[in-house]
Amino acid sequence: MKVAIVTGSSGLIGSEACKFFHDQGFLVVGIDNDMRQYFFGKDASTKPTEHQLKKELDNFRHYNIDIRDTRELETVFLEYKSDIKVIVHTAAQPSHDWAAREPFTDFTVNANGTLNMLEFTRRNCPKAAFIFTSTNKVYGDTPNDLPLIELENRWEVDESHHYFKEGIDEKMSIDNSKHSIFGASKVAADIMVQEYGKYFGMNTVAFRGGCLTGPTHKGAELHGFLAYLIKCAISGKHYTIFGHKGKQVRDNIHSVDLINAFWEYYKNPRPGEVYNIGGSRHSNISMIEAIQQIENIAGYKLNYTLSDEARSGDHIWYVSDIGKFKSHYPDFSYQYDIDRILKEMLQSAETSMRATSSN
C-alpha cells in the first residue's frame, strides 16, 4: 500500500492532509507530539484531533515523535522505506511572537526538524514528493516597503504598482529585512527544502503560505488570527489589535484548498520548487473588515481595543500571487472565498462552544 507521512498530523493542515490522503487510498502515518500545547497552552492541544483521526481513519497510524529526535524518526522511515510516496511536512513552531521567547526551540523544530525529514527521505524514499509548508514570513518585512495607501477599513497597495492586481510573487527578495526569529528559522528550512530538490534531484516543494485557516484551526493569541478572533467574538473575551489601526490585510486560504494544491503537486512534482500560496485576491480581508463581517454574519460584537504598538516585523499588507503555481498546475481552483470561510468557522466555533458548555 502507498504510504503518506504527515508531520504535525493533528494540526489544522496536517489533519486535513491525513483525511485527504486516506481517502485517496494511502496508509497514512501521522507524526505529532502535541507541542502546540507547549507553545500555546492547554486549550490549543491537538490531542482531540489525534483521537478523532484514530477513530475515523482505518488506515491511520499515529506516532508520538518529536521531529528533532533522529533516532525515533529514523525508525519510521526504515519501517516503510520505498512504500513512502509522499511526505507532507507541516510540523512547526508557528508563531513569530513565541519564537523570540525560545529561539533554540524555534530553530531546532523548524530548521533542524525539517533537515531531519529531508535527509531520511533522501536515504529511504528519494522518489517521494516532499511537500513543505513554508510561510510568507520568509520575505521578512519587505512587503511593508511597498507603496501602501490607507483606505477607510484597510491598507492597500497603490494601483500603479505591479503587485496591485495579483499580489506578491516569488520574486520578492528575502534579503535585508526583519524576518522575526520565526521567519529566519523558516527561511533556513525553506532554502534547505529547495536545495535538496536542486542538489539531489528530489521532488521537493516549499509552499509559502499566507494565512492558513479552517474550522478545525485552534487559534491562539499568538497564532491564527482569524480563528482566535472568532473565538473571542463568541466567548466575549477581549481582543487586542496590535498596530496599523486594525487595517492590516491578510489573504486567507482554507485548509481544503491548500491540500488540493498539495495534491496537484503530488500528481506531477517538480524538483526544488517554491510557490506563494494563499487566498490571493480571491480571499483576503483586513482586521477591521473581519470584525465587521463577523458581526454582519452572526451578530457578535467583538470587545476589542486598538494598540498603537505593532508586532515587530508584522506585515501591513500581504496578498499572495499564486500565478506561478496556477501556471504549473492549471487544474487547481479555489472552493472557498473569505465569506464561506468565515461562515464555516463561525458555525464550527458555535458548535464547539455549545458542546463545551453542556459538559
Half-sphere exposure (CA, 13 Å, Cβ side) for 221? 11
Question: Hey, is 203 helix, strand or coil?
Answer: strand
| Banded pLDDT at 222 (limits 50, 70, 90) | low
Do 169 and 323 contact (CB within 8 A), yes or no? Answer: yes
**CA–centroid distance for 47 within its chain:** 19
- Mean per-residue pLDDT for 38-47? 91
- B/e letters for 252-266, b = 16+ CB within 10 Å, e = fewer, are bbbbbbbbbbbbbbb
Do 172 and 139 contact (CB within 8 A), yes or no? Answer: yes
Whole-number pLDDT of residue 349: 86
| Banded pLDDT at 159 (limits 50, 70, 90) | very high
Tell me the pTM: 0.95
Is a pLDDT exceeding 90 seen at residue 221? no
Is a pLDDT exceeding 70 seen at residue 356? no
Do 196 and 130 contact (CB within 8 A), yes or no? Answer: yes
Whole-number pLDDT of residue 267: 98
Q: Which is more confident, 43 or 55?
A: 55
The answer to whether the Cα torsion of 266, 268, 274, 279 is positive or negative is negative
Whole-number pLDDT of residue 256: 97
The four Cα atoms 193, 189, 31, 130 give a dihedral, to 10 degrees, of -10
Cell digits of residue 294: 463577523
Is a pLDDT exceeding 80 seen at residue 143? yes
Segment 56-75, tens digit of pLDDT: 999 999 999 999 999 999 99
Neighbours of 327 (CB within 10 A): 8
Q: Cα–Cα distance between 70 and 76 in angstroms, integer?
A: 10
Q: Find residue 260's DSSP bridge partners.
A: none
Give the contacts of 14 (CB within 8 A, at least 6 positions apart): 6, 7, 8, 30, 32, 88, 90, 91
Q: Cα–Cα distance between 278 and 261 in angstroms, integer?
A: 10
Q: Cα–Cα distance between 49 and 28 in angstroms, integer?
A: 15
Whole-number pLDDT of residue 219: 67
Of 45, 63, 57, give the one whose Cα is nearest residue 9: 63
Lowest mean pLDDT among 84-93, 235-244, 317-326, 349-358: 349-358
**Cβ neighbourhood burial of 200 (10 Å; 0-12, 13-18, 19+):** middle
Whole-number pLDDT of residue 357: 64
Of 156, 189, 182, 191, give the one whose Cα is nearest residue 284: 156
Whole-number pLDDT of residue 248: 96
Domains and CATH numbers, the chain: 3-358 (3.40.50.720)
Helices 338-358 + 225-235 axis angle, to 10: 50
Cell digits of residue 174: 528575502
